[in-house]
């Protein structure tokens, strides 16, 4: 038990466990960079006929999360694109009237650097949101937003929302975005309060799943991209076991048939938006057919805008992963086996 406590304390100082300090990171970023992000959006408004949000891994999940919010607020079309998909698809809308926002913590991700260079060649305006101000993307993008901390998922979303507020300034979309932007200010206090509670539950949650070698992660509505992230770039990346992502509404269109023989363990992210009822229906079916369901309920956060619940819930799931990794013998949360070792990258790129 003493070793577990020591490893958890060490994990709280790691780069990737941003949940230990996420309230500070968000308060600092919004306080220091809100006006700059909004001003950037205003400066781009005249050139923005199409907005592309680009990233890989967790940054792609952030792009999908931001798109979910912006589709309901901005009049201009918004596409979330996995990094290499931008040059591969080479969309017709990518040109001088396009704004391309690219997120990469390292600023060196092979895929995202390639997307940045392709967007530049096509004449698009480019914005890099990076954790490293001294990086290839920071040097090559037209505009740069850097944050220098581990909030790899949350800060690109917040930055995009603030840029969107600037893009929408003086248009009917501004009113639609107002409650979301105002909701950013309450997040640090909510995170501090709810994460202290989650920390006390995390070891018990992790022990429930300790012997599972495969987890199913479901989410719906604004939480669907986070469910994708938790499965693909959190469970598999940090616990090194199998994981399957499904949108909770899509689970009943085929995957539910596996419940006849499957008695798996599910992590389910439950929102407070219109998707809640259908997610609960899916949960009840999984439980009724013998599956274990670990539920993360955004209703526990209190008065958080439904579209901002992913920003809070990401850190809650991190507590589960920290304990799960340590209990499985993975005690250095920043260490990777293949990523960042030039094994999965080409052309000299340092990441992944």
Do residues 196 and 35 make contact, with C-beta atoms less than 8 angstroms apart? no
Mean pLDDT by 10 residues, the chain (352 residues): 86 86 96 97 91 97 98 95 97 96 96 98 98 95 95 97 96 95 96 93 96 97 98 95 97 94 95 98 96 97 97 96 95 84 80 77
**104: helix, coil or strand?**
strand
What is the reported pLDDT for 1?
57
Residues 6 or more apart whose Cβ sits within 8 Å of residue 308:
180, 183, 184, 187
User: What is the per-residue burial (b if ≥16 Cβ within 10 Å, else e) of 163-186?
Assistant: bbbbbbeeeebbebbeebbebbeb
Q: What is the model's pTM?
A: 0.95
What is the reported pLDDT for 48?
85
Question: How far is the C-alpha of 313 from the C-alpha of 308, rounded, in Å?
Answer: 9
Alpha helices (runs of H) in 169-295, residue ranges in sequence order: 173-183, 187-208, 224-230, 276-288
Task: Look up residue 46 and give its two tokens.
Answer: 């005249």
Question: How far is the C-alpha of 205 from the C-alpha of 84, rounded, in Å?
Answer: 36
Task: Look up residue 54 and give its two tokens.
Answer: 């680009």
Task: Show the domains of the chain with their CATH numbers.
Answer: 2-13+187-327 (3.40.50.10490), 18-185 (3.40.50.10490)
């Amino acid at each position: 038990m003493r070793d577990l406590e020591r490893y958890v304390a060490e994990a709280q100082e790691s780069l990737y466990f941003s949940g230990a300090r996420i309230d500070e990171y968000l308060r600092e970023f919004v306080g220091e960079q809100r006006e700059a992000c909004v001003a950037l959006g205003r400066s781009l408004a005249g050139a923005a006929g199409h907005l592309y949000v680009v990233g890989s891994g967790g940054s792609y999940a952030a792009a999908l999360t931001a798109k979910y919010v912006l589709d309901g607020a901005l009049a201009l079309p918004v596409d979330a694109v996995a990094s290499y998909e931008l040059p591969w698809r080479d969309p017709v809308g990518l040109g001088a009237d396009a704004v391309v926002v690219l997120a990469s913590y390292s600023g060196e991700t092979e895929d995202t650097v390639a997307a940045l260079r392709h967007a530049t060649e096509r004449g698009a305006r480019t914005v890099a949101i990076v954790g490293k101000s001294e990086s290839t993307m920071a040097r090559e993008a037209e505009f740069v937003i850097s944050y220098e901390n581990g909030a790899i998922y949350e800060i690109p979303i917040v930055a995009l929302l603030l840029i969107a507020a600037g893009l929408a300034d003086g248009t009917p979309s501004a009113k639609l975005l107002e409650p979301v932007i105002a909701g950013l200010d309450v997040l640090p206090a909510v995170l501090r309060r709810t994460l202290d509670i989650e920390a006390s539950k995390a070891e018990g949650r992790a022990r429930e799943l300790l012997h599972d070698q495969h987890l199913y992660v479901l989410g719906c509505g604004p939480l669907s991209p986070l469910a994708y992230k938790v499965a693909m770039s959190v469970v598999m990346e940090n616990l090194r076991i199998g994981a399957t992502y499904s949108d909770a509404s899509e689970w009943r269109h085929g995957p539910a048939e596996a419940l006849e023989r499957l008695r798996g363990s599910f992590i389910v992210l439950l929102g407070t938006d219109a998707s809640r009822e259908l997610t609960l229906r899916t949960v009840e079916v999984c439980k009724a057919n013998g599956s274990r369901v670990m539920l993360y309920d955004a209703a526990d956060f209190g008065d958080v805008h439904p579209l901002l619940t992913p920003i809070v819930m990401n850190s809650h799931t991190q507590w589960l992963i920290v304990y799960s990794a340590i209990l499985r013998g993975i005690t250095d949360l920043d260490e990777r086996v293949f990523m960042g070792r030039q094994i999965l990258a080409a052309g000299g790129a340092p990441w992944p």
